[in-house]
Structure 1
Amino acid sequence: MAKVNGSETQPGREGVISIIGPGMKVLGDCDTEGTLRIEGTVEGTVRAGKAVVVGKDGVVDGDVHTQDAVIGGRVNGSLIAESRLELQATCVVEGEIHARRIKLEEGGTVNGTVKIGDVSADSPVRSYGSGARKSGGEVSQSTAGES
């Protein structure tokens, strides 16, 4: 416990980082108020109140819903980042992506629909395809940096 202005407080759960290590496999959903780092495999839905980090050897076979996400491994399912999504050069994402802001490094692979904008259901969303603006926002067999 910490003391703030003379009174004791519990450490914030959102500051806790949970880790699924290399070689570890989780069957089922994962929920946390803080940050989840995945270096192993998760087969199920992942929900994190703060952030999800998928390392370059990490795999998620299911949906991901969080505030911020950094993806270096593989995600097979929908990926919703209410604030920021970073797709690293080593990532492979198969499925729908919806994020307020996206950074895609050259070499990262996305196969699916990409929607950029407010994540709330009643807000308009900007959709982008592979390099050019499209009404449907479909991205198929696209790798960042291709011409």
Structure 2
Amino acid sequence: MLGGKKSTDRAALPRGSGNEGTMSIIGSGMNIVGDLSTDGSVRVEGRIEGTVRAGKTVIITNGGEVVGDVLTQDAVIGGMVRGTVVAESRLEMQATCDIEGSIRARSKHLKLEEGCRFSGQIQMLDGGEALALPAPARVENSTQMQGLSTP
């Protein structure tokens, strides 16, 4: 991405209209204290202390951290999560993943790479049961971030 550095933990994002194709990036070294909500996708390379809600995808890279809940359609976890992960459609836990908390996901769309770490409860659903994915809070701008700070 930046600086010519290639990343192997990218997820293919479908292109859509409006905010659906939007990718918000929480860069390495960035620390957010508060909740983040977007209709699109978010890539976490830094640290978030709060709930992360994304209408499309949440990608937490190796080195990225979320201390709070992650609620989304598709999740690719390569970093650390301390909280509940709810992936309505697809969940990928990469080899560098470290989750401590609860997971709710579809068993047909759950990918676990060798080496991933998980401590907690997992609920895997097969049918059309809803995972109770809460709708993101509506604000004038589709991306809401509170308490931004950088070290």
Coarse TM-score class (shorter-chain normalised)? 0.7 to 0.9
Whole-angstrom CA distance in 2 between matches of 1:52 and 1:76: 15
Shift of 1:115: 1.1
Verify the 8 A CA contact 1:99 1:119 in the aligned structure 2: no
Determine what percentage of the aligned residue pairs are the same residue. Answer: 54
| Structure 2: distance between partners of 1:14 and 1:99 | 21
Give distance in 1, aligned partners of 2:58 and 2:46: 13
Between the aligned partners of 1:88 and 1:22, the Cα distance in structure 2 is: 19
Q: What CA RMSD, in Å, does the superposition of the two structures yield over aligned residues?
A: 1.3
Q: Size of the alignment, in residue pairs? A: 112
Q: What pairs with 1:1-147 in structure 2 (closer than 5 Å)?
A: 11-100=17-106, 101-117=109-125, 118=128, 120=130
Which SS does the other structure have where 2:124 is aligned? Answer: strand
Q: CA deviation at 1:116?
A: 1.0
User: Higher RCO, 1 or 2 (CA under 8 Å, sep at least 6)?
Assistant: 2
Task: Say if 1:97 and 1:119 are closer, same or farther in 2 by CA, change over 3 A.
Answer: farther
Residue equivalent to 1:134: none
Segments of 5+ residues of structure 2 without an aligned counterpart are 1-16, 133-151
Whose helix fraction is larger, Structure 1's or Structure 2's? 2
Question: Which 4+ runs in 1 deviate beyond 3 A?
Answer: none
> Is this contact kept in 2: 1:98–1:119, CA < 8 A?
no
Task: Kindly provide the CA deviation profile for residues 67-103 of structure 1, in whole angstroms up to 9, marking residues without a partner as x.
Answer: 0000000000000000000000000000000011211
